[in-house]
Amino acid sequence: MDNRALKERVFQTIDENRERIIDAGRAIFAYPELGYKEHFASELVQTVFSELGLPYQTGLGLTGVKARAAGRDHRATVALLGELDAVVSPTHPFADERSGAAHACGHNAQIAAMLGAAMGLCLSGAMEQLDGDLAFLAVPAEEFVELEYRQKLRDEGKVEFVGGKQQLIAEGAFDDVDMAMMVHSYCSPDVRSSVVGAPSSGFVGKIVQYTGKEAHAGVEPENGINALNAAMLGLMAVNAQRETFKDDDGIRVHPIITKGGDLVNIVPADVRIETYVRGMDTDAVVAASAKVNRALEAGAYAVGARCEIKELPGYLPMRQNPDLDRVFLQNARALLGEEHVIDATVGPKMGAGSSDMGDLSHVIPAIHPVAGGFCGNAHAKDFAICDEEMAYILPAKMMAATAIDLLWDGAAEALRVKENFVPKYTKESYLQFWREFVGE
């Protein structure tokens, strides 16, 4: 059997399991969970792995799951990833009433596609033709949300990192993985489309607390120290920094006030802010972060309040691996047609979002293409799946076909990817970078 025939057999197996794959995506969509709390989605993944006869680990980053499928030889290991968590979108029509969580970013489709690729590769007998192994990972907590909750998990020693892939790097879940891929959702007028090789930004996170002094707001405000005024001045000072950010660095600062005081007739003494400092280059993000800290602290100094800033290890910019991109691009075009797949490595740069896949890409070769099938706007109430074949089934085929190419014929393509890759960090130096940044 040649490479092409094997792909067709895997595609046929994916098609035979089409309803099973879509049902998994629908089930997770209907039960959205926020990061490090994805128990329903995690158990669904475990059930599928058990049905496929795959040995798996649980409890990675609290809720993550990792399965392995062995090839006939073990020259390289390729990981296929999907993300378990939802985002906070309380006005979404399918949001959870208690948490405000909704799958308004398409992570349910990522899990379904990852499981679909696993079904295709394992049930078809393809692994017996491949000279390497596959790892299938359901990863928690990609969305960088609920920062105070996740800081509590950090304080309790349950996790070290806010992001799930970061946590899995620290726990060693990628120590036996040579390269990784996943497919993210993409809202596009051309519903059946894909973009390969687009960059994404990195960022750092901050939890900011202004502490003032309480006093009766009507009777004796002169005896208080208004922490809300301190926060407002701090945010105005951040805005005064914006003209100093270089356009090419793509710096974005987008804070929210999560607590503005306690009662309207008490001078606010406890005000809290969460924010990112985002950009396309790590050094630029670190430099902008220092400016933002200085501005926030100035607001406290102006009114005599205190400002405490807790730094959180954010995400690094994505380093799309060109060798993996090339293989994935060929398979995406074979499935969708050349005119429906954009090679973002040429032409204008696209993408300013962030993902902890960027962190992984600094340690091992990794790609993060996007695929259509979605309508509306990401992280918004109108986000919806409008083409289930494109959202669930075709990404499963793209990843499965790419895995076959990588591990075919002595895993020659995978070995070439490994040989050409120059990591920005080792696992140890990566962890050291973030630990030094947050002062640990």
Over residues 188-199, the pLDDT tens digits come to: 877 799 999 998
CA-nearest of 212, 230, 201 to 315 is 201
Separation between Cα atoms, residue 382 and residue 379, nearest integer Å: 9
Label each residue of 297-340 as H, E or C: HHHHHHHCCEEEEEEEEEECCCCCCHHHHHHHHHHHHHHHCHHH
User: Token pair for residue 132?
Assistant: 């390497």
Q: Mind listing the pLDDT tens digit for each residue in 375-430?
A: 999 999 999 999 999 999 999 999 999 999 999 999 999 999 999 999 999 999 99
Separation between Cα atoms, residue 65 and residue 171, nearest integer Å: 13
Confidence label for 147 from pLDDT (cuts 50, 70 and 90): confident
Kindly report the average pLDDT of the chain as a whole number: 95
- pLDDT at 166 > cutoff 80: yes
Q: Residue 31: what pLDDT? A: 97
User: Token pair for residue 91?
Assistant: 């006005």
Domains and CATH numbers, the chain: 3-200+318-436 (3.40.630.10), 202-315 (3.30.70.360)
Q: Mind listing the pLDDT tens digit for each residue in 88-138?
A: 999 999 999 999 999 999 999 999 999 999 999 999 999 999 999 999 999
Separation between Cα atoms, residue 438 and residue 167, nearest integer Å: 15
Q: How far apart are the first and last CA of the chain?
A: 54
- pLDDT at 350 > cutoff 60: no
Residue reference for tokens 């900011």: 208
